[in-house]
Structure formats: C-alpha cells, structure tokens
Amino acid sequence: MSAFSAPIAEQIWDMKYRLKEADGTPIDGSVEDSWHRIARALAVVEKNPAEWEAKFYKALEGFKFLPAGRITAGAGTGRNVTLFNCFVMGTVPDSMGGIFDALKEAALTMQQGGGIGYDFSTIRPRGAEVKGVAADASGPLSFMDVWDAMCRTIMSAGSRRGAMMATMRCDHPDVEQFIEAKKDPARLRMFNLSVLITDPFMDAVKADGPWELVFGGKVYKTIPARDLWNKIMRNTYDFAEPGVIFIDRINKANNLGYVETIAATNPCGEQPLPPYGACLLGSINLPTLVTGAFTDKAELNLAALDDLVRTAVRMMDNTVDASRFPLDQQAQEAAAKRRIGLGVTGLADALLMLGLRYGSDEGAAQTEAWMHAIARASYLASVDLAREKGAFPLFDAKGYLSSGNMRNMDADVRDAIAKHGIRNALLTSVAPTGTISLYAGNVSSGIEPVFAYAYTRKVLQKDGSRTEEEVVDYAVRLWRELKGDAPLPDYFVNAQTLPPLDHVKMQAAAQKWIDSSISKTINCPEDISFDDFKEVYMAAWDQGCKGCTTYRPNAVTGSVLTVSEKAETPVAAQPQTGGEVVYLSEPLDRPAALEGQTYKVKWPGSEHALYITINDILIAGHRRPFEVFINSKNMEHFAWTVALTRMISAVFRRGGDISFVVEELKAVFDPRGGAWMEGRYIPSILAAIGGVIERHLISIGFIEGEGMGLKSDPKAEVMVVGETPRGKACPSCGSYAMQMKEGCMTCTDCGHSKCG
C-alpha cells in the first residue's frame, strides 16, 4: 500500500527528495526509507538517538511534519550541502574590493543551494564622488547587474536555479531607478526586488508630506512622499515588482533587536535576517490533524498539534547542528542564535474541512487561534530544550523579553523564558511550500487559498512522451471520497475568485503569532483599478503585516493559471490556432529561399569576429527559426562551430519550444574567464552566441524577452476543471504550468521553482 495519495506526490519524491546513486540508482527504496534517513540524521546528535529517531519518524510518517526540501533531500546523504533554506549575505561594503568580496561569498552560498538576500542601500548612489580616483560612482544597480550575471553562471555548473532578493531603502537616492529597473524585461531576471519601507515614510505618505532621499548624511533630492509611493504602486501594478517590506515594523518586533538590525530578507520574504543570517524551514501539515472532516464534529486535534509542534521544534533545532554552511560566518551566526522557521501548510484545506470559508471573519479567527497554539507550543518546547541543552548563546532575558513580539506573548510563556531561557531565538515563519505541498498529496500551499480544485497536468516521461493525469486538491479529493458527486459547498473559494482584501485579512491574522514573516501572494484580478490596488497595500500596512506581495496578470510576467469555480468535471480544451509555434513530427524540408539575419560578434582578445546567420521559416504568417550558420576566419573555431551549427539547426527543424537552446548556451562559462561586452559580463563565447540567438528570437516575436519562454503554443492542449489554465513555459520541463505562488513562479507539473 503506497503512502502516496496521488501520482504527482510520488513523482515529486522521486525527482527531488529520493536518495539515489550518482548514476540514478535508487538508495531510498520507498518514502518510508526517506523518512528513516531523515529521522536518523536528525537524531544522531541526541544522547539517546534510537529513541528520538523513532519519535522523529512518527512525526514524518503520513506527511504530518514536512521539513523543507533541502532537509528532506539532504539530511543523511553525506553530501556537502546545506540544510538551510534562507540566507542574507553580509553587509555590502561601499568599496570596489568589498563589493567583489561580497560577490564571491554570494557565489559560494548559491553553489550549495542557498537562496540569498542582500541590501544594496549601503552602496553610494550613481554620480556620487569616488574620492581618490577622480570618478563618479556607477551606483548600486550597476553592481546588481554583476550579481545577476553571477547567478546565471552558477546555474551553469548544475546548481539549483538561483534565487536572490535585492532590497533598497525608501530614502536611498537611487530608489526611483531601483523601483523601475524591471521595466526592462531583460534586466535583473534572477532577482526579486523589494523596497524597505520605514515608519516615517508611511507617515509622510498619509500626511502627503515631503520625503528626502539621503546617503551619507547628504540630501540628494526632496520629493513628495506620495509620488514615490505611487511610483512603487504603479510599477507593481504594471510589472508585479517591487514588493514592499515594512522594515521598521520588522525590527521593532524582532526578538533579537537588542543584538542585530535587519535590512534584508530571503528571496520569498518570509525570513527577515541580519547580515550572514541563516534560517531553516519546516511546516506542520494541518489537514492531517483534522478529524471528522465535513461533519458537524469536525475539529483540529489540538493535543496532537501540540505534540507534533514540540517534536518538530526539536528536529529543527538538531538540524542547526547537523547542517553544513557555505561560509564560516553563517555557521557562527546560526550557532549563536539558533533561528528556526516552523510554519504550516494546508491551512485553506483545513479550514474547508471544518466548513469555514477562507477569508471570512470566522476563517481568520480560526487561523489566528491555530497560529497562537503553534506559537505557544513552539516557545514552550524551546524553553524545555533550553533547560536540557542550554539557551542560545546570545540570550539576554531583559533584551529578549522587551521586543515588540515578546511583549505580546502569553504571560506564562514569558515567565518560563525569564526563568529558564530559550533554545531558539526565533521559531515561527510561513514559508513557500509549493513543492512539498504537492509531495504531501497536493494540500493547499502554506497559508494560501486553494489555487485550483482540480486540473489535468501533462507529465513528461523518460522516453520523451507525455501522459495526462488529474491533480485534485487534498480537501476536494476527501470531499469526493465522503460525499461522492455532491456539489462543493459555497464556502469553497479559490485564489482566482477571492477578493484581495480577504487575502490581506488572512495574512494579518496569521502574522499576529508569527515571529518572523510570511510568504504570501495576494492575487489581484487584471481589471482591478489602480486605486483599489493601492488600497491592498495600505490595508496590509494598517492591519499589521510585515510586508506585502501582490500578483496582477500583466504583459511582462504573464498570467497565472486560471480555473473556473463552477464546473467540476474535466472539460477538454479546444485546439488553438494561429499561434507562433508549429510542432513537427519529422524535420521539415528546407525551402529554396529563407529570410534571415546575420550578426557580428567580436569576442574581446580574439583576432577574428564570428558571423552568426539565423534563417527563419514562415508558417501560417509566423516566423520561427529554421537554421543557424556560424562562420569565422579563425580556424581554431572551425570544428566546434560546425558542430554547433548542425546541432542547433537540427533542434530548430524539429519544431516546438526551442528556447531552451538559448538558456543552455548562455549558461556555459569559460574557466579561463568571460568578458565584458556592451556593459554586461558574458561568461563565455558560447554564451555570447546564445545571447545573439536570443535577441533574434525576440526580434521575430518567437519569445517574449530575455530569459522568457514562448509567447503562445497551440499544441499545448490542457484539460482542466472548467476553463483552460495556462501559464508561462517552465524552464525545467517545458510545460505551460507556471503559477505565481507565495511570491515565486512555480511549475505545477514538475515542481520547478524560481526560488529553488
């Protein structure tokens, strides 16, 4: 009897979490073997490891406690990987040498799979004087471009897809350029961007007062605060970035405010961290604790929740000691504060199982009550660990208990901490759980509403073929098992139909008892007015949220998948016509004449230029690439250019989405070093060729922009509940199944996530 409730869950486990030999031979024979591996690895630091291994296994069994993906995939493997999900790098110095030292540290961290955040507010603005060299500063955005190139290069070495967050203070002189940086669809694609919003700025916005842009004590510019706020709102409305982080609120609430200042977060925003801060993540799977689902006796077992939380806290505390770290500074920071981020997943499903509508006052009140119970259990468990193993090294009772977060904690918890100390400085966080939620049977992700009740996904098989399978939400599947064909009740709502302010209400209810932050996306309809859109952010501020991330479908980032609420039986999508892509079962014969373009590439240091000719075929009024020729007078290039010409042309002639060729070429780095071309760092001559091909594909309308997939694809028929869900092409599996979830584009077919 399989532990998996759906094929997608087993596929995710096999692809992402199952331990295998280098040649792909499985070591974990079953998911139970994976649970044993994790439990054993996290119990080894205990005085009686066998006893705790059994308890840890029980917590993992049945997907009740879900350690984050890096723990599930890495614990007990003996591999040189970090089990931590989130890092904020050290403060970026305002000097050329310091900036590139920081770049090196970032590369080492990303190489081990860590998602990283940086505050670029510390770099002097563009045009500022650089003393001693008679030059003006190029500003933080120019260095962000270098980081962006580094992330692409790290990806070429086979590491996890890079994820980075860049923040900038709302009073930095370059903040206006930062806000608008991603208007250029080719720029900073490896970054998420957020503006650090201060309390005085929000006061100025509300009062319609002036706002000074300052660096190093010098006022560079004074502007109306509302103008800057509206600029943030307009760019977010049009391009989905930047997000906003209420940084003063974060620092006032921080348990560790007496020893650290936070200026950045990890890529999805749920972990505000100090310089070199690190945090690991895990989630309580709430639906597994509900009894009597869809009856008048439905309830979440609070005793079982308390017991599971306490075990999970111990497992995560042990992970701090079991993990490796990319940098010594990160290891020291983690050991000194022992931060963990325990959160939840399946909240929306658990509410549905109790008959509560996500976004209702009752749903918000129940959410707050569950989060309160989790916070109490977490803190008391950590106090017990402090009595047994000692408090975190930087614990100071007076400083710790005077933070905004701890002043709101229950009196008995405060008393216990004052008497015994606490093992972990911070304990709770709501992380993105898209992949582990699929692995756990497609429970709703994190504290998000249900995205889709059911949809049909195309699964890429090893032989290259695709099969179709229905993916059903956990609560919907349970309803079907219990109620048969009975229609879903009115309290079933999803992310597409939920009013944005209901999203805010749920985020605010959960935030009251989360000591770090929350990864959540507030889905907004495309036709929402700009004034209503701005109100979402003001409501998040007024209701006590620590940040806000919205997603409104737009021309740059595309649409999320959409699903109708009404229909409950799969309906086949009708074939689409008139798209730009033609799929070919056999290579197409070459016409006698083709239209094309020739591009010149002069690689620095090379005597001869490369000439790249790309010819296109015209089908149904649309151009697509058909063949490539690469020529050079340099005979050292002859063999590989001919081989490349033949391989790329063969791929082009097979049809379909060939944009992956560009990404593969652009990711190749030369160990001898790359070169600067037209103000950008290019890691190799092959990457330069990839860039040329990409620009050509953009020019003929085959792809949307740099790093983006196809504009449309008529052959990608998808079966759905009600309507045809359609997202952007996944860069990993090619399916049109990318969704914006918890601030991160995630593929529902293969689990690929931009944020790792």
State whether 567 and 599 are in the same domain: no
What single-letter amino acid sits at 650? A
3-state secondary structure 146-188: HHHHHHHHHHHCCCCCCCEEEEEECCCCCHHHHHHHHHCCCCC
Q: Whole-angstrom Cα distance, residue 356 to residue 349?
A: 10
State whether the Cα torsion 563-566-567-572 is positive or negative: negative
Amino acid 156: pLDDT: 46
In a domain? residue 296? no
φ, ψ at 500 (rounded to 5°)? -55, -35
Upper half-sphere CA count for residue 214 (Cβ side, 13 Å): 8
Of 336-340, 713-717, 745-749, where does the model show the most confidence? 336-340
In a domain? residue 326? no
State whether 607 and 566 are in the same domain: no
Q: Is the pLDDT of residue 193 over 90?
A: yes
Amino acid 579: pLDDT: 34
What kind and span of H or E run contains 498?
Answer: none
Range in 20-24, 220-224, 387-391, 662-666 the model is least confident about: 662-666
According to DSSP, the residues that pair with 243 across neighbouring strands are: 194
Q: Whole-angstrom Cα distance, residue 184 to residue 181?
A: 6
Amino acid 718: pLDDT: 31
Amino acid 606: pLDDT: 78
Range in 34-48, 153-167, 467-481 the model is least confident about: 153-167
Amino acid 129: pLDDT: 87
Amino acid 423: pLDDT: 98
* Number of other residues whose CB lies within 10 A of the CB of residue 591: 10
State whether 472 and 552 are in the same domain: yes
What single-letter amino acid sits at 383? V
Parallel/antiparallel/unpaired status of strands 191-197 and 164-169: parallel
What single-letter amino acid sits at 570? P
Q: Is the pLDDT of residue 621 over 90?
A: no
Nearest to 756 by CA among 92, 117, 289: 117
State whether 121 and 244 are in the same domain: yes
Q: Whole-angstrom Cα distance, residue 712 to residue 691?
A: 21
667 or 36, greater pLDDT: 36
Q: Whole-angstrom Cα distance, residue 742 to residue 86?
A: 15
Upper half-sphere CA count for residue 301 (Cβ side, 13 Å): 16
The DSSP code for 244 is E
Amino acid 728: pLDDT: 59
How far, in Å, are 164, 446, 495, 536, 605 from residue 547 at the CA level? Answer: 17, 16, 19, 11, 48
Read off the pLDDT of each residue in 622-644 and give the average, rounded to a whole number.
Answer: 81
Amino acid 196: pLDDT: 98
What kind and span of H or E run contains 747?
Answer: strand 744-747
State whether the Cα torsion 144-148-153-158 is positive or negative: positive
Amino acid 666: pLDDT: 83
Range in 92-96, 269-273, 656-660 the model is least confident about: 656-660
State whether 726 and 663 are in the same domain: no
With H, G, I as helix, E, B as strand and everything else as coil, classify residue 130.
strand
Q: What is the pLDDT of residues 681-703, one digit of tens each?
A: 788 888 899 889 988 988 888 87
State whether 679 and 538 are in the same domain: no
257 within 8 A of 403, measured Cβ to Cβ? yes
Read off the pLDDT of each residue in 56-70 and give the average, rounded to a whole number.
Answer: 97
The DSSP code for 741 is E
Range in 179-183, 462-466, 592-596, 645-649 the model is least confident about: 462-466
In a domain? residue 375? no
Active site residue ranges? 266, 268, 270
Residues 6+ apart with CB under 8 A from 229: 201, 205
State whether 201 and 132 are in the same domain: yes
State whether 602 and 567 are in the same domain: no
Upper half-sphere CA count for residue 628 (Cβ side, 13 Å): 28
What single-letter amino acid sits at 490? D
State whether 676 and 738 are in the same domain: no
Domain boundary among 188, 223, 249: 249
Q: Is the pLDDT of residue 583 over 50?
A: no
Q: Whole-angstrom Cα distance, residue 366 to residue 222?
A: 45
Give the total number of structural domains in the chain: 3
The verdict on whether omega for the bond into residue 725 sits within 30 degrees of 0, i.e. cis, is: no
With H, G, I as helix, E, B as strand and everything else as coil, classify residue 468.
strand
Q: What is the pLDDT of residues 549-569, one digit of tens each?
A: 998 886 655 554 434 333 333
* pLDDT confidence bin for 383, thresholds 50/70/90: very high
With H, G, I as helix, E, B as strand and everything else as coil, classify residue 256.
coil
In a domain? residue 615? yes
How far, in Å, are 129, 141, 194, 195, 707 from residue 241 at the CA level? Answer: 30, 15, 7, 10, 17
What single-letter amino acid sits at 556? V
Q: Whole-angstrom Cα distance, residue 729 to residue 742?
A: 19
93 within 8 A of 102, measured Cβ to Cβ? yes
Q: Whole-angstrom Cα distance, residue 604 to residue 530?
A: 47
Q: Is the pLDDT of residue 576 over 50?
A: no
State whether 525 and 493 are in the same domain: yes
Place of tokens 């005793």: 303
Residues 6+ apart with CB under 8 A from 267: 86, 115, 116, 117, 163, 164, 165, 192, 743, 744, 755, 756
Q: Is the pLDDT of residue 274 over 80?
A: yes
State whether 232 and 158 are in the same domain: yes
In a domain? residue 454? yes
In a domain? residue 54? no
Domain boundary among 229, 249, 269: 249
218 or 461, greater pLDDT: 218
Q: What is the pLDDT of residues 412-451, one digit of tens each?
A: 999 999 999 999 999 999 998 988 999 999 999 999 999 8
The DSSP code for 717 is -
Parallel/antiparallel/unpaired status of strands 595-601 and 610-619: antiparallel
In a domain? residue 692? yes
Q: What is the pLDDT of residues 109-139, one digit of tens each?
A: 887 776 799 999 999 999 998 877 667 889 9
Q: Whole-angstrom Cα distance, residue 702 to residue 164?
A: 28
Domain boundary among 195, 220, 249: 249
State whether 181 and 96 are in the same domain: yes
Q: Is the pLDDT of residue 5 over 90?
A: no
The boundaries of the domain holding residue 529 are: 434-571+720-747
Residues 6+ apart with CB under 8 A from 239: 182, 183, 554, 556, 557
Q: What is the pLDDT of residues 602-619, one digit of tens each?
A: 888 777 788 899 998 876
Amino acid 743: pLDDT: 64
In a domain? residue 631? yes
